[in-house]
């Protein structure tokens, strides 16, 4: 795999890029480079194929040795593009991939320069638990002295206060860490004053 790593990743990205009838590139996939057992039993639908290719790319984002290749292939842009998709699975995998990649300083700076914080914040309203957890974690990783004003903006802090009241222990614990480690006491107090301090009516991820 080592010698062909870039080529393999390129093949995955290529599967995710085709030109539509108008000549404009859009993201999609027609097949998988490495068919899974399930795909050998029955053909994957277009949506399932897209999801599986994106999941593969997100998995490769776990390995720091792939970071340079993924940047070269503009996979960070692909992940950011997918955050606005209607398909919740695509958003989940893209958000997970970004969460893995932003541990790297270069990737972090790229995401910030690409105005990636806003679409990540929008993912906090997802009904998918994995997407929300990845979004909260990613905002933590992206918080720097320069980006703090955006990653800990008042609506974000208020959202974390609501999440901290969730019956979902995983989410509530993560939100509490965000409030304690990334927000100042005045920020939390201001957000609390604007909130009824109740999770009732707040869309939280599905268990």
Query: Whole-number mean pLDDT of the chain?
Result: 85
| Residue 136 in this model has a pLDDT that exceeds 60 | yes
DSSP structure string for 113-128: HTT-HHHHHHGGG-SB
pLDDT band at residue 196 under the 50/70/90 scheme: low
Query: At residue 23, does pLDDT exceed 80?
Result: no
Topology (CATH level 3) of domain 1-11+45-122? 1.25.10
Most confidently predicted of 12-26, 38-52, 81-95: 81-95
pTM: 0.82
Contact indicator for 136, 121 with CB cutoff of 8 Å: no
């Amino acid at each position: 795999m080592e010698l062909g790593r870039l080529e393999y990743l390129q093949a995955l990205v290529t599967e995710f890029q085709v030109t539509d009838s108008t000549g404009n590139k859009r993201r999609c996939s027609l097949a998988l480079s490495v068919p899974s057992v399930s795909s050998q039993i029955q053909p994957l639908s277009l949506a399932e194929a897209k999801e599986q290719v994106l999941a593969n790319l997100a998995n490769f984002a776990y390995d720091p040795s792939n970071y340079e290749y993924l940047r070269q292939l503009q996979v960070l842009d692909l992940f950011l593009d997918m955050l606005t998709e209607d398909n919740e699975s695509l958003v989940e995998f893209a958000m997970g991939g970004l969460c893995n990649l932003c541990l790297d300083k270069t990737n972090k700076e790229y995401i910030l320069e690409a105005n990636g914080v806003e679409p990540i914040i929008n993912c906090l309203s997802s009904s998918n638990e994995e997407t929300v957890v990845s979004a909260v974690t990613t905002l933590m990783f992206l918080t720097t002295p320069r980006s703090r004003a955006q990653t800990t903006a008042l609506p974000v802090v208020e959202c974390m206060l609501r999440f901290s009241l969730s019956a979902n222990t995983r989410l509530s614990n993560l939100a509490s860490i965000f409030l304690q480690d990334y927000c100042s006491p005045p920020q939390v107090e201001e957000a609390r004053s604007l909130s009824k301090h109740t999770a009732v009516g707040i869309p939280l991820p599905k268990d």
